[in-house]
Amino acid sequence: MSRSVTASFLAGLLFGLGLILSGMANPAKVLGFLDLAGAWDPSLALVMVGAIAVAMVAFRLASRRQHSLLAEPMRLPGKGDIDRRLVLGGLGFGIGWGLAGFCPGPALVALGAGELKAAVFVAAMLAGMAWFELLERPPARAA
């Protein structure tokens, strides 16, 4: 197994464990966090603040490097504009998160745990990704 595959596996495993330990893979806990008018559970706000803090440090360090620790070229997001596509994508993400209590990472963790609700969410997510690809794919040119 290559070093990059091993590193990816370990990073995904650590991420999944973090999602389980933080409660982010539990839709009931997520929906409790999103229920501002009811029995609001603020604990996931602390998880998010912690994740943002870690990401800020990681992105700051990564921006100073040309290559990753595995000698791959460093590819960081370059576009920072807030445009219509970003706003609509964020709205779609938020609506899906609020309806299902899942976002993509925790849904995959819950799918691995055999949750039927996660399977339905992941199927809908994949269908949405396919739909996006069909809409965004440039039309084929005649040869």
Q: Give tens-digit pLDDT for 62-75.
A: 889 899 888 888 88
Please check the confidence at residue 143 and state whether its pLDDT lies above 70.
no
Domain presence at residue 25: yes
Count of domains in the chain?
1
Domain-located, residue 48 = yes
> Is 7 within a domain?
yes
C-alpha distances in Å from residue 106, one per residue of 1, 29, 82, 121:
26, 12, 26, 11
Look at residue 74 and tell me if it is in a domain.
yes
pLDDT score, position 130: 92
55 domain-assigned: yes
pLDDT given at position 69: 80
Q: Is residue 142 part of a domain?
A: no
Considering the entire predicted model, what is its pTM? 0.72
**Which domain covers residue 13, as residue numbers?**
3-136
